[in-house]
Amino acid sequence: MQKSIEPTLVAEPTTEEPERLSGVLTRIGGPHVAWGGKEVLDLWIVEHRAQLDQKMSAQIRVNSWALVIATFGLVLCTGGLIWATFAA
């Protein structure tokens, strides 16, 4: 039976986040550039995407080390089996 995959929802932006992001866009473009809601939303999405990328990288690093340790354990077991075969 196939397991259903439910999407993970990101929390909505707080009231302070659009103001902060508008400030960032104003510093980038200067006081004479008018930024709309789409640009603020795009910047918010980019920030959250970067956070998710960092979390995924950390998880991949942990999983990679687990595989390294498991591989080392298998090498030791294989060496033990080879030694036991020749010792017998």
Q: Where are the alpha helices (DSSP H) in 1-88?
A: 16-29, 37-87
Q: How far is CA 74 from the centre of its chain?
A: 29
Arithmetic mean of pLDDT over the chain: 89
What pTM was estimated for this model as a whole? 0.65
* DSSP letter, residue 30: -
pLDDT score for 74:
98
Place of tokens 């060496």: 79
| Residue-wise pLDDT tens digits, 58-69 | 999 999 999 999
* DSSP letter, residue 15: S
Per-10-residue mean pLDDT, the chain, length 88: 64 86 91 90 92 94 98 97 91
**Annotated domain spans of the chain:** 16-87
What whole-number distance in Å separates Cα of residue 65 and Cα of residue 60? 9
